[in-house]
């Protein structure tokens, strides 16, 4: 077994757990459809995080060509993105004492800062991985820096207006959909 194959198994397991969290959460919401108060921004964010998990899985194969020597710091750096993504997927849905909660709007607006903070961290990790492992320049990362900056603006600006969150999520959804439709990267 090649070192990359060994590492990608762990990455795939963590991403699989994130996908399972998302799919279980959506299934629970659908199963309790009549009792669930859906949130527009929350629902779109679920779709976005689903797309991000697919994107990370898809692009992790590139590391087989980009990383020649695998060390534990490199493996930990590669695993940091899917680990944060799993945590994001986990906190997208009520758990523990809140597990019976069906007001997704209330849940989202009580937890959006945590979710946005984790998402901003994944963008930061993505920038670092692109520069250190994939050979991109910092200048190439300006769009991602702006993306992270918007998240930080929401977090530190403490935006509570639902319309701002809705518009932000719709804009992101269009970016991710166009990314998936226009990207021609192959394995």
Phi first, then psi, for residue 75 (nearest 5°) are: -60, -45
What distances in angstroms separate CA 76 from CA 28, 53, 64, 89, 103, one per listed residue?
A: 32, 18, 16, 20, 36
Q: Average pLDDT for residues 140-169, to the nearest whole number?
A: 95
Question: Is pLDDT at 187 greater than 70 in this prediction?
Answer: no
For residue 147, give both structure tokens. Answer: 């993306």
Buried b (16+ CB within 10 A) or exposed e, 53-89: bebbbebbeebeeebeeeeeebbebbebbbbbbbbbb
Distance in angstroms (rounded) separating the CA atoms of residues 15 and 121: 16
Q: Is 103 helix (H, G, I), strand (E, B) or coil?
A: strand
Closest CA to 26 of 13, 45, 7: 45
Closest CA to 38 of 46, 118, 155, 88: 46
Closest CA to 60 of 181, 145, 185: 185
Distance in angstroms (rounded) separating the CA atoms of residues 162 and 37: 15
Question: Is pLDDT at 2 greater than 90 in this prediction?
Answer: no
Q: 62-121, pLDDT tens digit by residue?
A: 899 999 999 999 999 999 999 999 999 999 999 876 777 789 999 999 999 999 999 999
Predicted TM-score (pTM) of the model is: 0.91
Question: Is pLDDT at 41 greater than 90 in this prediction?
Answer: yes
Question: Is pLDDT at 18 greater than 90 in this prediction?
Answer: yes
């Amino acid at each position: 077994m090649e070192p990359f194959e060994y590492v990608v198994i762990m990455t795939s397991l963590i991403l699989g757990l994130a996908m399972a969290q998302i799919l279980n959460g959506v299934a629970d919401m659908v199963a309790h459809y009549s009792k669930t108060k859906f949130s527009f921004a929350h629902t779109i964010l679920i779709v976005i995080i689903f797309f991000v998990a697919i994107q990370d899985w898809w692009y992790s194969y590139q590391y087989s060509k980009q990383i020649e020597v695998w060390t534990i710091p490199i493996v930990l750096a590669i695993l940091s993105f899917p680990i944060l993504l799993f945590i994001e997927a986990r906190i997208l849905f009520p758990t523990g004492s809140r597990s019976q909660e069906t007001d997704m709007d209330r849940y989202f607006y009580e937890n959006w800062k945590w979710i946005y903070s984790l998402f901003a961290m994944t963008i930061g990790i993505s920038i670092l991985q692109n520069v250190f492992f994939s050979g991109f320049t910092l200048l190439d990362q300006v769009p991602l820096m702006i993306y992270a900056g918007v998240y930080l603006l929401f977090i530190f600006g403490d935006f509570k207006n639902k319309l701002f969150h809705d518009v932000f999520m719709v804009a992101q959804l269009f970016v991710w959909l166009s990314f998936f439709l226009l990207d021609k990267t192959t394995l």
